[in-house]
Amino acid sequence: MTIPAPAAYVEFDGRPATAEDLRVPAFAGYGHFTAMQVRDRTVRGLDLHLERLDSANRELFGPPLTGHRVRELIGHALDSAGIRDASVRVHGFMPPGAAETVTMVTVRGPARMAREPRSLMSVPYARSVPHIKRPGEFGQTYYRELAGRSGFDEALLTLPGGVVTEGSVTNIGFWDGASVVWPDAPALTGITMALLDEGLARTERPSARRPVTLEGLGAYRAAFLTNSQGIAPVRQIDGTSFTVDEELMARIGQVYEDAPREAV
């Protein structure tokens, strides 16, 4: 449900990827990444992306992955690809026998989330170590594909008892008529989600975290999805329908648009 992007341009540690380099993600995929949208060489929440990479690298491998170095690598890859608007991913790997993190930057054309309301199918799955964004998660892909074959747009991951956590590649937020509610459950804190949190607080409409269950979905007036490509309303979760709240979508859309950008 996103606008297709062309094939990626890939660099490893600031140089064009070779076939040997690409063996690292293919055969030693243990690592982490962040995904961002670049417009005119700027990124919303760049500091949050850099913090995510550094924190995950320290947790998985020990050494830091400094923001200064990552910014240089992103800028170099954009220069080499010859574009200012792009979808960028930054991956950190530690190949067997290596003493330092290998940083892979991929650059594609820009993408955005389609604005059509989405339908979600709940599935009994939750990611391990959910606070780290990482590639190659079989369960997420399996259930997302299953949801698609079942006529839904996205899978909604749930814990036992129908406790809602996150989408397969999204965060989900709910509207109770007074505030935005994020599920209080183990999940990745997405950058767009974090930017909305910060922006809502600045506008004196702070969001909240509460347990959300499939059984209790009727308590919410509306719902929406977020990821690095934007925001979209939810029209259905399993058999529960939601009205698209245009005022809410305009409000959180403006909060997102107002988030400051940083140069890369």
Task: Record the pTM.
Answer: 0.94
Q: For 179, which DSSP code?
A: S
Average pLDDT taken over every residue of the chain: 95
Domains of the chain plus CATH, in order, are 9-108 (3.30.470.10), 118-263 (3.20.10.10)
Question: SS3 letters for 183-249?
Answer: ECCCCCCCHHHHHHHHHHHHCCCCCEEECCECCCHHHCCEEEEEECCEEEEEEEECCEECCCCHHHH
pLDDT single digits (tens) 79-90: 999 999 999 999
d(CA 86, CA 70): 16
pLDDT at 1: 45
pLDDT single digits (tens) 208-260: 999 999 999 999 999 999 999 999 999 999 999 999 999 999 999 999 999 99
Strand bridging mode 42-44 / 261-263: antiparallel
d(CA 225, CA 232): 5
Burial 176-196 (b: 16+ CB within 10 A, else e): eeeebbbbebbbbebbbbbbb
